[in-house]
Amino acid sequence: MHRKTAFGTVNGTEVPLIELQDGLCAVTLIPLGAAVHSLRVPDRTGALVDVCLGYDTPDEYRRHDACFGGTVGRCANRIGGARFAIGGKTYRVTANEGENCLHGGAEGFDKKLWRYACADSSVTFSLDSPDGEEGFPGALHTEVTYTLADGALCIDYRAVSDKDTVVNLTNHTYFNLSGHDSGRVDDQVLTVRAARYTPAGAGNIPTGALAPVDGTPLDLRAGAVLGERLHLPALAGSRGFDHNYVLDDGAEPVATLYSPRTGIAMDVTTTLEGMQVYTAGFLIERQGKGGVVYAAGHAVCLETQHFPDAVNQPSFPSPVLRVGETFRAQTVYRFSVR
C-alpha cells in the first residue's frame, strides 16, 4: 500500500512524502532527486528502526551536496578531466570536483524534481534531461522504480537516449543499521564479495588496472568490523573506505552489512559490475532528520554502478548507451534480523 503526505515545496511545486509499506518495512520516497527519505525496518525486538540518513525539508536536500538517498546521474562517480569521446567526438562536461566531473555535474539528477506515478507497492519516478545538459550529449529519458515487498527494497533503472551518451545511475542512500541517529558505524560488520578493486590515482580517478584485494585493508570477503579498518593509515587519504569494488561474477548477495546493536542485516544484490563503498569520511557535520547531528563515519553507502571514469578506460565495461538501446539495471536491498 502507499500513502502521500506533505513535505514542502520546491519553486512553488509541492513535494510529497510517498510511503510504501509491506507489513514488515516502510520506505518514504520524495520526487526531489527520486530519493529515499527514510527506511524503517524491524530490529531483533520487532521495533522499527529508520536506517537512512536524511533531511526534514526539501530546501536542505537542494542546498547540501551529500546526495542523501538520491538517484545520482546522468553519470554517477567521476569522469576524469570532465571530458570523454564517443564516436570520435570529444565532449566536455561540467567540472565540479577540481578538474573532474562528479555525480553528473553542478546540478545532477539528485537535485532535480522528478515526475512520479504510484502503484500499490511501487513508485516510478521519471525525468527528462535535455541534450547538452551539463555537457552530456543526447536527450535522455530516465525512469527509476522503487518496489517494497517481503522486506526488500528493489530499485529498477531504465534509460533511453536520442544520441549516444554516457549513463551511470546509482542510489546514494547513507545506511546506518543501528539507526540514522546512532552515530558512528564502527561496530557494524561489512562483507563485500569482491576479489578485486579499481585502484585510483590523482583526483580519485582509476588507473585502469584491476588489482587484487588480497593482503590489503580492502579485503572484505570474510567480513570485517568497520572500526578495525576505518582508522588504518592505509585508508587515511580516503578517510576510510571510498573505493570501487569489482564484484565477483555470480556473487549473491554481493555485499552484507550487519549491526550487532540492532540485529539488522542488509543483503545487496545487483545486475551491475561495480560497487562504490563509501563510509562517509568526507561528510560535513550537519543537522539531519529530527535535529540529529550527522558527521563523518556515521553511515555506509553501497553504491552499485559502472566503474568510475569507465568512459575513458577502454579495459572497463562501457557505460555508453547507444541510440536504440535501453539501459536497464536492478539493485535490491533485502533486510533480515539476527
CA–CA dist 204, 337 (Å, integer): 36
Catalytic residue among 103, 180, 303, 306: 303
CA–CA dist 26, 20 (Å, integer): 6
2 given a catalytic annotation: no
Dmax (CA) of the chain: 59
CA–CA dist 18, 128 (Å, integer): 21
CA distances for 243 relative to 24, 171, 198, 253, 288, angstroms: 32, 16, 7, 19, 25
252 given a catalytic annotation: no
Catalytic residue among 103, 172, 243, 306: 172
Asked if 255 and 192 touch (Cβ cutoff 8 Å), the reply is: yes
Cell 519553486 found at: 11
Cα–Cα–Cα angle for 144, 147, 152, rounded to 5 degrees: 125
Q: Which of 69, 43, 76, 42 is nearest to 55 (CA)?
A: 69
| The one-letter amino acid at 238 | S
Q: Which of 171, 97, 160 is nearest to 134 (CA)?
A: 97
Active-site positions read 172, 303
